Amino acid sequence: PKLKIEEGAICGECQIGKQTKVAHLRLQHQVTSRALELLHMDLMGPMQTKSLGGKKFAFVMVDDFSRFTWIDFLMENQIALKPLETCAYNFREKKRLSL
């Protein structure tokens, strides 16, 4: 028998297999001492449903010290470096901080 696989379709098992949940030990003290010392980043996508602007990827950055969060929506995953460059430029020029 032949399997009918729709192009671009993402099955539920694939989504579950890509999801991970790992318990992190809670730290008793803060590791960072200033903003922008440690940034956590994640690139998510492609999403099944595009945004109104046609974007299907999300790039998320979280500052470890302040927990301030930035999110940028992208058309494709290859341009994920651009939001990071923009963020670094804004901090360097406007806030007089460096990454």
Residues 60-79 pLDDT 10s: 988 888 888 989 899 988 77
Kindly report the CATH class assigned to 27-94.
Answer: alpha beta
pLDDT category of residue 98 using cuts at 50, 70 and 90: low
Domain boundaries, the chain: 27-94
Q: Edge to edge, what strands does the sheet with 39-44 contain? A: 39-44, 57-63, 69-74
Q: List, for residues 14-49, the tens digit of each pLDDT value.
A: 777 777 777 777 777 778 898 888 888 888 888 888
Residues near 80 by beta carbon (within 8 Å), at least 6 away in sequence: 43, 57, 59, 74
pLDDT category of residue 57 using cuts at 50, 70 and 90: very high
* Residues 72, 73, 74, 80, CA torsion sign: positive
pTM for the predicted model, two decimal places:
0.65
CA-angle at 58, arms to 14 and 24, nearest 5°: 70
CA distance 94 to 99: 13
